[in-house]
Every structure is written in C-alpha cells, then in structure tokens.
Amino acid sequence: MPVECEAEVHRLIEEHLPLVRHVVFQVAVHFPRHVDREELATAGALGLVEAARRYDQARGVPFDRFAAQRIRGAILDAVRAADWAPRSVRTLARKLEQVEQQLATKLGRVPNAHEKAEALGMEPDELRRLQDRMFRSVVLALEYEVADDDEELTLVDVLADDHNREPSEELENRELHSYLRDAVGLLPERHRLVIVGYFLEGAKSQELAQLLGVTESRISQLRSEALAMLRDGIEAQYEPAPAEEPTGRVARRKAGYASAIGDASAWSDRLTALATS
C-alpha cells in the first residue's frame, strides 16, 4: 500500500537525506564545473520528497533503490530545464571532447581546428559554428558566488578586464612574464628545446624526438621535468630566501636555477620589458 501516514513520509525523508548527496556525487562528475552542486542537491531533495510520497512497500522494491531513481531523475530534469543547448549540440560537444583527447594522445600536442574538423568529418567553418553554439549555451549568473570564505565574492567581482587593469596588477603581470622568459632561457638545452618547440613552435613529440635523437616517451619526460623546473623556479622568486643552505645535489641544483632566474634581469627591466613591446 502507498505510504499514507505523514509521519512515515517524514521518517523516510529524514533517514535518506544522505542518499541525495550520494546521488549528486555520482551524477555531478558528468556535468561541467559551473553547474552548481547545491542546486543539484536541492533538485535531488525534491525528488526524495516525491519518492517518499509515492513509495509503495507492497511492490517489494527497497525504498533506497526506488528513491535513488527518483532523485537522479529530478536532478537530470533540473539540469535539462536550465540548459539552453539542444540535445544535438550536447551530443556533438561530447564527441568533440573525445576527438580532442584522441588527437592529443596521437599527436602529442593540442590539435588545431583543421585537425579536429577533419576528424569529425566537418568543414572548419562548420566546427567553428558548433563551438559558438556550445559557448553560448554555457550560462553563468553574474551574481553566482565564487568564494568559499567570508569575503562573499560573486562572479562579476572576479571577472578580469584586460583593458582596465589596476597598476599593481599590470606590474605584477610584467614581472611574471619576465621571470618566465628568463626561466625558459636558463633551462638545460634539451629541456629548453622541448619547451620552445612544443609550446611556442607547435612541434609534435615525434618531430622533437627525431631532432634530439630520443624516444617520444623521453620527450614527454623532458617536458614534464622542464615544466616542474619552471614552476618551482618562478615560485621561488615570490618566496623568502631559505635560512639555511640547501643540502643534497637535487636541492642545490633547484636553488641554483632559482637564483639564476632572479639574477637574470634587473627588477626595473622586468617591470618595463612588456611596456615597450
């Protein structure tokens, strides 16, 4: 018989509230990050309430299984209702994402628009129109809260305006770019060739492997090592100098590289490097 007692309905809801979070966790991995998980939980809670009111114990189906289906359905309905893109665009978007991943694995770099269009059997203009529709379908409210602390920032507060930067932000940006340029220049030769070739010249891993006479897996290793060196070397410029001298060969090498980055340019040159370019 259907649950008719209001007290029993309340009991089912209260006891199975954790189930809502569990289902949200399961389905949220399939949605982009901008989809608010709290809104998914709200939709799921409404699904739980509906499940508690519709549950018929006589059918022999456990309530948690019955409720999970209702919760999942309510979440998906809420997402579809808020989604401006038709299903065809979403299907093509998923296909495009898969193609991009496959090409990146095959080519050893980020594929360009022509390669993606060819893999999808499209003309480049057709792919560009599809991407425009995908981008327009991502709707974010400017009052959406993005801070986890007590500052209560919203999306409109943190959107960057490249044409109206604060003077301090502009100086920090120039300094960071200068550090990056010096850090790349100070990399060991093979690491530098891989970074410049891969990220600035668009070379494939296979081409770099032939140039350096190594395997493609070695190119991948060199790229990972170089990126770690760049990250650690630049981060060190914004940290206080260690009180003690580093011990160990690896620590001394890292410290020497970081020190070389700091000494490569005068601070005044770093702040004016991009102003005249």
Residue 137 to residue 159: CA distance in whole angstroms: 19
Count the Cβ atoms, other than its own, within 10 Å of residue 6: 9
Q: Is residue 150 classed exposed, middle or buried when 0-12, 13-18 and 19+ CB atoms within 10 A define those classes?
A: exposed
Burial profile 16-31: b = 16 or more Cβ within 10 angstroms, e = fewer: beebbeebbeebbeee
* DSSP reduced 3-state for 37: helix
**Mean pLDDT rounded to a whole number for the chain:** 77
Confidence of residue 38 (pLDDT cuts 50, 70, 90): confident
Q: How confident is the model at residue 152 (pLDDT cuts 50, 70, 90)?
A: low
Tell me the average pLDDT across 156-172: 58
Residue 44 dihedral angles phi and psi, to the nearest 5°: -65, -35
Cβ count near 189 (within 10 Å)? 8
Q: Looking at 75-84, 96-105, 120-129, 235-244, which range is the least confident one?
A: 75-84
Please enumerate in sequence order all residues whose Cβ is within 8 A of that of 126, keeping only pairs 6 or more positions apart, or say none. Answer: 117
Q: What pLDDT shows up at residue 169?
A: 65
Whether the predicted pLDDT of 183 surpasses 70: yes
Residue with tokens 């940006």: 173
Q: Which residues pair with 2 in a beta bridge?
A: 56
Q: How far apart are CA 170 and CA 204, in angstroms?
A: 34
State in Å, rounded, how far the first CA of the chain is from the last one.
Answer: 78
- What are the structural domains of the chain? 6-82 (1.10.1740.10), 87-158 (1.20.140.160), 167-272 (no CATH)
**Residue reference for tokens 């999306």:** 155
Q: How would you label 210-249 residue by residue, b for 16+ Cβ within 10 Å and e otherwise? A: eebeeeeebbbebbeebeebbeebbebbeeeeeeeeeeee
Neighbours of 159 (CB within 10 A): 10
pTM of the model: 0.42
Token output for 81: 């209702």
pLDDT exceeds cutoff 80 at 253: yes
* Res. 151: pLDDT tops 60: no
| Tokens 């399961």 sit on residue | 26
**Mean per-residue pLDDT, 179-195:** 91
pLDDT in tens, 49-96: 988 888 888 888 888 888 888 898 888 777 766 654 556 666 777 788
Environment class of 48 (CB within 10 Å of its CB; exposed 0-12, middle 13-18, buried 19+)? buried
CA distance 87 to 77: 13
Which candidate, 177, 222, 232, places its Cα nearest to that of 198?
222
Is 185 or 273 the better-scoring residue by pLDDT? 185
pLDDT score recorded for residue 193: 93
Task: Supply the pLDDT for residue 2.
Answer: 46
